[in-house]
């Protein structure tokens, strides 16, 4: 049963190169596609490398098993799908070949010329180069229309970002198909025009260069510079630690010199990096849990240097126009585990960001002040968007894309959705709307809890709830059908957003469809959940789901009427668009939520809520049952007032602090007041 995607049948993938990243690429393919019996062959000319790759992959599979992230039957399928071979003949029959060999044009050229003799005309050739332009890699290949770079980031089976780089002869339709294919298996592909280093590595390597230069200038030792970079930029690990973890000294040293020739004369390999590359010793970084001290003056200086360099590098890439600003902002955050550059500049204020870059450029005269930064300063801010907007025929498709927070909602995202809907409202070419999100796990994981935690008073809580409801009411009242395509689970605000749409369709086989887990965190839904869910599925069923905070699976969601359909194919967006047009043209009647009081709503049934807060349950019951006696508009106003009341309780503070400290696996110790 091969993986069929948009009439493209994938039964076999070959990964050439068993070194640093090839095994991880193969493991991601296997984890995504083993259930379709897709075979993943890893090929290398070194038996020792192949054995090391096999052991590396097995260790990662076993770790996932031990942590409960992988079930035994899934692990067995993955192991069966993965095969390791010294024989290039194992490539025959592959629909995709990914080269993950050393960063050397001659080596890559030799590999692909050999691969071309072993594959069919419809095979797709991908190079996991980190720097080289497709034109240089595939210059001697006959089928250049089917050749692209697919640049993964470390570690490839976990890091979601893949840069897709077309060459001048690449078939644009094939590049689009590849992008959608990667999306379907859980990656975050971004399209980048052909340029040395692409979009993200110049920023990473530029920050590494900055770190080494700070070391050479005596601004701190490796540990202090790493720590300062982490604090300044919100990095997961500092530059020196990243170089140690990835074995990145050789490729960074080579890349910086090439970037200096190809992109900007500022890029150059510092002498200390050459030394480390030659003596092959790691940088002296802090151990796990080790505290690193910085004096205030030192931290301020290093913070300014790193932020100035980061913002300048981001501006350089935006100026190049090889990638959209939105993609750059999102990919930096997801690939490099760093604060997104445009968002961070906005947070600091454009005048402050501009001053930092101007100071950096003054100290580094080879670096020109980015024109895009000048424009953003004049405008007062950057305008990065967390949504993608595309037309699919006469259907507008809006995709929420906040992968770092599992597409969590805030008012900025809802504002962007409203702007897109307003632009399409009077467009006769747009007949319906599909609202979906990025990835395969989460549609929307809920409201952004950082925003919820920032609320301090009942009045702030009530205003926040009203603002969310206003945004969702606009969707509920939209004159054209809106279909929510649930690519993953919809929790909290995500479920409330889905209920504001005309209809809901879920990805085929989606295990968990929705839930309102707010009670686990010590508050009630505030974006319409206590009013729309009873009107959609009935008061008693809604009350049980709301009061327990339990998740609801696919079949139950269909049975109780929350879902209109389960997709029958792997192309959820296409099926959602078809459903939207059916609603537009009257082939399917929408389920209209009553706006009048509900009849026979009854009284609360006894319900065991376990450890959950009795005080919050009391507020929630009032919102559900009293709200059912009111018109929808009045019920929503009641919900907002009662959401604000939650901020008077100790249990909301306890629930949010418990989540911040322990996540979702530890139950909060509510005091019931």
User: Which entry of 222, 333, 496, 639 is annotated as an active-site residue?
Assistant: 496
* DSSP SS3 for 90: helix
Active site residue 518: yes
Any idea which residue has 């707010």 for tokens? 518
Closest CA to 386 of 420, 352, 432: 420
As a whole number of angstroms, the distance between CA 156 and CA 98 comes to 13
Least Cα distance to 559 among 506, 501, 629, 625 occurs for 506
Which of 153, 159, 146, 148 has its CA nearest to residue 186? 159
- Enumerate long-range contacts of 371-380, CB under 8 Å, 24 or more apart: 371/315, 371/319, 372/315, 372/318, 372/319, 372/325, 373/311, 373/312, 373/315, 376/342, 376/345, 376/350, 377/350, 377/351, 377/353, 380/350
Contact between 401 and 437 (Cβ < 8 Å): yes
| Two structure tokens written together for 236 | 């997961």
Give the whole-angstrom CA distance, residue 514 versus residue 85. 44
User: How far apart, in whole angstroms, are the C-alpha atoms of residue 235 and residue 199?
Assistant: 18
Residue 409 is classified by DSSP as B
Pairing of strands 512-515, 489-491: parallel
Q: Which of 518, 637, 639, 645 is catalytic?
A: 518
262 is catalytic: no
**CB under 8 Å to 339, separation ≥6 — which residues?**
233, 234, 333
Sheet holding 124-127, edge to edge: 82-85, 39-43, 12-16, 96-99, 124-127, 147-152, 161-166, 188-192
CA distance 61 to 75: 7
DSSP 164: E
Contact 408, 456 (CB under 8 A): no
Positive or negative, the CA dihedral 52, 53, 58, 61 is positive
Q: Specify burial of residue 330 (Cβ count, 10 A radius: 0-12, 13-18, 19+).
A: buried
Residue 412 exposure: Cα atoms within 13 Å on the Cβ side:
12
> What's the CA gap between 94 and 122, in Å, rounded?
9
Residues with a catalytic annotation lie at 496, 518
């Amino acid at each position: 049963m091969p993986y069929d995607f948009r009439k493209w049948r994938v039964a076999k993938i070959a990964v050439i190169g068993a070194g640093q990243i090839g095994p991880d690429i193969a493991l991601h393919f296997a984890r995504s596609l083993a259930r379709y019996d897709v075979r993943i062959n890893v090929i290398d000319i070194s038996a020792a490398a192949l054995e090391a790759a096999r052991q590396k992959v097995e260790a990662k599979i076993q770790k996932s098993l031990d942590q409960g992230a992988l079930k035994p039957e899934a692990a067995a399928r993955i192991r069966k799908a993965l095969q390791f071979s010294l024989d290039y003949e194992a490539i025959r029959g592959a629909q995709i070949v990914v080269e993950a060999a050393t960063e050397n044009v001659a080596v890559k050229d030799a590999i692909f010329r050999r691969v071309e003799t072993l594959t069919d005309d419809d095979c797709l050739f991908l190079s996991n180069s980190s720097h080289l332009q497709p034109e240089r890699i595939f210059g001697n290949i006959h089928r250049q229309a089917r050749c692209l770079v697919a640049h993964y980031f470390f570690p490839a089976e976990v890091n979601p970002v893949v840069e897709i780089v077309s060459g001048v002869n690449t078939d644009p339709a094939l590049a689009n198909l590849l992008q959608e294919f990667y999306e379907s298996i859980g990656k975050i592909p971004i399209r980048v025009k052909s340029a040395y280093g692409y979009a993200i590595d110049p920023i990473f390597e530029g920050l590494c260069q900055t770190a080494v230069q700070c070391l050479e200038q005596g601004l701190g030792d490796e540990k202090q510079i790493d720590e300062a970079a982490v604090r300044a930029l919100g990095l997961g690990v500092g530059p020196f630690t990243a170089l140690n973890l990835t074995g990145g000294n050789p490729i960074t040293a080579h890349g910086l010199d090439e970037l200096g020739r190809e992109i900007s004369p500022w890029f150059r390999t510092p002498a200390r990096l050459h030394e480390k590359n030659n003596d092959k010793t790691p940088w002296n970084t802090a151990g796990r849990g080790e505290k690193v001290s910085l004096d205030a003056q030192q931290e301020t200086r290093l913070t300014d240097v790193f932020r100035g360099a980061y913002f300048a590098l981001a501006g350089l890439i935006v100026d190049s126009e090889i990638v959209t600003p939105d993609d750059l902002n999102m990919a930096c955050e997801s690939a490099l585990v760093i604060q997104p550059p445009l968002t961070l500049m906005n947070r600091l204020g454009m005048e402050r960001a501009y001053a930092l870059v101007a100071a950096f450029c003054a100290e580094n005269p080879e670096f020109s002040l980015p024109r895009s930064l000048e424009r953003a300063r004049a405008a007062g801010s950057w305008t990065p968007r967390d949504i993608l907007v595309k037309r699919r025929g006469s259907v507008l498709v809006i995709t929420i894309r906040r992968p770092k927070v599992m597409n969590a909602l805030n008012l900025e995202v809802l504002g962007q959705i409203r702007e897109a809907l307003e632009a399409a409202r009077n467009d006769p070419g747009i007949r319906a709307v599909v609202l979906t999100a990025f990835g395969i796990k989460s549609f929307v994981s809920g409201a952004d809890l950082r925003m919820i935690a920032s609320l301090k008073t009942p009045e702030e809580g009530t205003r926040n709830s009203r603002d969310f409801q206003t945004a969702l009411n606009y969707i509920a009242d939209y004159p054209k059908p809106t279909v929510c395509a649930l690519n993953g689970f919809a929790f909290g605000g995500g479920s409330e957003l889905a209920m504001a749409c005309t209809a809901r369709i879920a990805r085929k086989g989606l295990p968990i469809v929705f839930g309102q887990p707010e009670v686990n965190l010590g508050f009630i839904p505030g974006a319409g959940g206590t009013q729309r869910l009873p009107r959609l599925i009935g008061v008693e069923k809604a009350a049980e789901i709301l009061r327990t905070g339990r998740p609801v699976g696919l079949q139950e969601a269909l049975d109780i009427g929350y879902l209109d359909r389960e997709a029958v194919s792997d192309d959820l967006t296409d099926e959602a668009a078809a459903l939207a047009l059916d609603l537009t043209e009257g082939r399917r009647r929408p389920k209209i939520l009553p706006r009048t009081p509900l009849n026979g709503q009854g009284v609360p049934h006894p319900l065991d809520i376990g450890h959950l807060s009795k005080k919050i349950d009391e507020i929630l019951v009032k919102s559900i049952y009293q709200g059912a006696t009111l018109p929808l508009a009045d019920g929503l106003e009641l919900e907002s007032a009662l959401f604000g009341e939650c901020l008077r309780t100790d249990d909301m503070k306890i629930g949010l602090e418990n989540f911040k400290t322990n996540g979702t696996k530890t139950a909060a110790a509510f005091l019931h007041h």
